[in-house]
Amino acid sequence: MSIRRLSQLQWFGLLVGGLTWFAEYLAGTGASQARCNPGSGPWGIPHDALQLALMLFGVLVVGSALVASALVFKRTYDVEEQAAPPLGRIHFFAAAATAANLVFLIIILESGIGTIVNQLCHQA
**Which residue would you say has higher pLDDT here, 43 or 104?**
104
Residue 123 in domain: no
Work out the average pLDDT over 65-69: 95
Residue 32 in domain: yes
pTM passes above 0.75? yes
Q: pLDDT tier at 83 (50, 70, 90 boundaries)?
A: low
- Which of the 8 DSSP states describes residue 47? H
Residue 65 in domain: yes
Confirm if 70 and 100 have CB atoms less than 8 A apart. no
The burial class, CB within 10 Å (0-12 / 13-18 / 19+), for 108 is buried
Residue 124 in domain: no
Q: Give the Cα separation of 30 and 115 in Å (integer).
A: 12
Q: Give the Cα separation of 56 and 53 in Å (integer).
A: 5
What is the chain's mean pLDDT, rounded?
88
Q: How many structural domains does the chain have?
A: 1
Residue 122 in domain: no
Domain assignment of residue 56, given as a range: 3-117
Q: pLDDT tier at 110 (50, 70, 90 boundaries)?
A: very high
Residue 13 in domain: yes
pLDDT, tens only, 6-63: 889 889 999 999 999 999 999 999 888 888 887 777 777 788 899 999 999 999 999 9
- φ, ψ of residue 72 to 5 degrees: the values are -65, -40
Residue 97 in domain: yes
Residue 74 in domain: yes
Burial 30-52 (b: 16+ CB within 10 A, else e): ebbeebeeeeeeeeebebeebbe
